[in-house]
Amino acid sequence: MNGADRLCDTLLANGVDVCFANPGTSEMHFVAALDRRPRMRCVLGLFEGVVTAAADGYARMAGTPAATLLHTGPGLANGLANLHNARRARTPMVNVVGDHAGYHLPYDAPLTSDIDSLARPMSHWLRRCTGPDDVGPAAAAAIVAARSHPGVATLVLPADAAWGDAGGPADIAPAQIPAPRAVPEERVAAAAEAIRRAGPRAGLLLRHEGLRADGLEVAGRIAAATGARLFAPVQIPRVEAGLGRVPVTKIPYAIDLALKCLAEVDVLVLVGAPEPVAFFAYPGKPSRLLPEGAPALLLAEPGEDITGALAALADRLGAKAPPEVARPAPLEGAPSGDLTDAALSRSIAMLMPEGAIVVDEGLTTARSAFDLLKGAPPHDYLMLTGGAIGMGPGAAAGAALGAPGRKVVALQADGSGLYTVQGLWTQAREKLDVVTIVFSNRAYAILQREMRNVGVTEFGENAKRMMQIDDPAVDWVSLANGFGVEGAAVETAEGFHAVLDYALSRDRQGPFLIEAVMA
C-alpha cells in the first residue's frame, strides 16, 4: 500500500467520502488511489475556487468535512479566496495539496513554490507529510484538526510520499475526535449577571450552534425572560430560519447602519461569535461597532461547548418560558412591475419550498432577502463569511451535495458570480437541484456606494471603467447554457415570479439559472 492509498483509506475510515478535486500531474498517484476506491465520491471543479467553495458549502450542510484535492502552489492559490471564507466560517475541511517529490524541490522546477507560506494564512492547521509512512498519521491529525473546530486543515502531500510504500495495517481505526471543551462556570455567571443588569439593553451575538434551531430556541427563551436582544453577525455561516424559528437581527454591512443597530446595546454576550467590528475602516469612524464603553463578554467560542454554555446560561437566568418565534403575516399577491431587490425577495419568500437551502451571495442586491425570508417555510440560510466574493456557484453545488434531496436557492450578485462562474458546470455534471437567481445590475454597486462614501459623487471615465460591467453586458443565460445549465432571463417582477415558480417545481433534476435583469 502506497502513501496515496493510505491517505484515501484514512479519509474513508473517518467518514470523509466526498473529494472535491482539481488534480494535476503531481497528484496522479492519489488519483489512481481514489480510482481504486469507488466509495469515495470524486467531484470535479473546473477551477480550484469552485472546489474549495464546494467543500465549504458541503460541510456547512453535512456537518462533516469533505476533502479537496489541489495541485501544487498555484492550484492551492486559486482556491485560497474560498478557503479564506471557510476559515472565517470555521468550516471543517481537509485540503490535500500535492507537491513535487521532496528530492525534486531543490531543482526549482517551474511549478515549484513555497506552498507553506501560501497555505498558512488561510489554514487553521498545516502539515507537510515527511514521507510515505507519515501520510496515515498526518491525515488522521488533519481530520482531527478539521473536526475539533479549528476548521480548515491543509495537508501537503509530496509526490514521493504518495508513491512510496506506506506499510502499516490495512484496517484503519477512526481517529478520536475530542469533545468540545466545557465552558468555565464563571463565564456563564458573568454573562447571566450582565444580562440581568442590562435587560433589554443586553444583546446575544449568536453564531454556529447558537444559530441552529435548538440553539435559537434556548436563546429565544433567554430573550423572552430578560428582554435581551438576539443578533447575528453581518456574515453568517449557517442559520436555521423561517416560520416557527426564533428570529434574529443581522448586523448590517454598512458602517452607519451597523453602528445604529448596536447603538442601544450596553453589553454584548458572544455566543460562538467574535466581537463585531467594522467590515472596513473609514476615516473618522470607529473600528469597534459597540458603543464606547460597552463591553463584549465571551460566553463560548468555536471548539467549546456552545450549546451547553447557552443551556447553562438559560438555566441560570431561569429562562423557561417559550420563545417568540417568527410568525409574520403571510405574503399575499405576487409582485408586479419593476424588478427590484424587494420584488425579487418577495417572490422568493412566497415560492421557496420547506427545507430549502439559501446560499446568499447577493451582496447589495439581496438586502431584503434575509428579513423577508423569516416569513418563508423553515429553511437553512448560508452566507459569504469572509468577504472574499466568488463563493456562490461552488458553495451552492457543495450545499446540494451535503444535503441530498433538498432544493438549493442561490442568491447571486452578478459581479461576484463571475469570479467562479465555472461552478455552474459542476452543478450540471452532478445534476444538482440548484436554482441560481442572478441579481443582474451590471455594476459593482457596492463599490459605487463606497466611492460616494469617500466623497466622490461624479464618476469619471476611469471610475466607470472599474465599476460598471455593462459594456458589454454579460449574457448569463448564454454562460449557463455554455456550462450545460438551463436558464432564462426576465425583466419584470411578473416574469420572475412565473419562471421561479417553474424552476422550483419542475420535475427534471438538475440546475436552473434565472438572470433577473434589475430595474
CA dist., res. 247 & res. 25, Å (int): 49
Instruction: Select the residue interacting with its own copies from 12, 13, 28, 225 (CB under 8 A).
Output: 28
Instruction: Select the residue interacting with its own copies from 81, 146, 204, 218 (CB under 8 A).
Output: 81
DSSP 470: B
* Residue 423 makes contact with its own copies by CB under 8 A: no
* Residue 131 makes contact with its own copies by CB under 8 A: no
203: which strand partners?
229, 268
Q: Which residues ranging from 317 to 346 are in contact with its own copies (CB under 8 A)?
A: none
Q: Which residues contact 283 (CB under 8 A, 6 or more apart)?
A: none
* Residue 311 makes contact with its own copies by CB under 8 A: no
Report which residue type is found at 517.
V
* Residue 459 makes contact with its own copies by CB under 8 A: yes
* Residue 64 makes contact with its own copies by CB under 8 A: no
Which among 223-231, 357-365, 413-421, 492-500 is the span making contact with its own copies, rule CB under 8 A? 413-421
12: which strand partners?
none
Q: Is 289 helix (H, G, I), strand (E, B) or coil?
A: coil
* Shorter beta-carbon distance to its own copies: residue 71 or 229: 71
Which among 46-54, 296-304, 332-340, 355-363 is the span making contact with its own copies, rule CB under 8 A? 46-54
* Shorter beta-carbon distance to its own copies: residue 81 or 195: 81
* Residue 442 makes contact with its own copies by CB under 8 A: no
* Residue 1 makes contact with its own copies by CB under 8 A: no
Q: Which residues ranging from 469 to 488 are in contact with its own copies (CB under 8 A)?
A: 469, 471-479, 481-484
232: which strand partners?
250
Q: Which residues ranging from 187 to 226 are in contact with its own copies (CB under 8 A)?
A: none
The β-bridge relationship of strands 379-383 and 239-241 is: antiparallel
* Shorter beta-carbon distance to its own copies: residue 26 or 347: 26
* Shorter beta-carbon distance to its own copies: residue 26 or 436: 26
Least distance from C-beta 240 to its own copies, angstroms? 22
What x/- string results for residues 367 through 406 when contact with its own copies is judged by CB under 8 A?
------------------xxxx-x----------------
> Residue 487 phi/psi, 5° resolution?
-160, 165
Helix or strand holding residue 448 (H, E)? helix 445-453
Which three-class secondary structure string do you get for 168-222? Answer: CCCCCCCCCCCCCECCCHHHHHHHHHHHHHHHHHEEEEECHHHHCHHHHHHHHHH
Site residue total, its own copies (CB under 8 A)? 105
* Residue 279 makes contact with its own copies by CB under 8 A: yes
Q: Which residues ranging from 146 to 175 are in contact with its own copies (CB under 8 A)?
A: 159-160, 163
What residue spans of 239-374 are helical by DSSP H? 255-261, 306-316, 341-351, 369-372
Instruction: Select the residue interacting with its own copies from 196, 201, 288, 406 (CB under 8 A).
Output: 288
* Residue 32 makes contact with its own copies by CB under 8 A: yes
Least distance from C-beta 114 to its own copies, angstroms? 4
* Shorter beta-carbon distance to its own copies: residue 430 or 491: 430
- The dihedral through the CA atoms of 453, 417, 441, 408 has a sign that is negative
* Residue 519 makes contact with its own copies by CB under 8 A: no
* Shorter beta-carbon distance to its own copies: residue 84 or 147: 84
* Residue 235 makes contact with its own copies by CB under 8 A: yes
- The dihedral through the CA atoms of 422, 426, 431, 436 has a sign that is negative
94: which strand partners?
67, 153
296: which strand partners?
268
CA dist., res. 80 & res. 83, Å (int): 5
Q: Is 229 helix (H, G, I), strand (E, B) or coil?
A: strand
* Residue 177 makes contact with its own copies by CB under 8 A: no
HSE value, Cβ hemisphere, 13 Å, CA-based, for 202? 22
Instruction: Select the residue interacting with its own copies from 451, 486, 491, 501 (CB under 8 A).
Output: 451
> Cell 470524486 belongs to which residue?
42
Q: Is 319 helix (H, G, I), strand (E, B) or coil?
A: coil
Instruction: Select the residue interacting with its own copies from 234, 399, 435, 500 (CB under 8 A).
Output: 234
CA dist., res. 289 & res. 279, Å (int): 10
CB 45 within 8 A of CB 430: no
The residue among 272, 228, 220 whose CA lies nearest residue 247 is 220
* Shorter beta-carbon distance to its own copies: residue 372 or 446: 446
Instruction: Select the residue interacting with its own copies from 182, 189, 257, 466 (CB under 8 A).
Output: 466
What x/- string results for residues 249 through 278 when contact with its own copies is judged by CB under 8 A?
-------------------------x--xx
* Residue 7 makes contact with its own copies by CB under 8 A: no
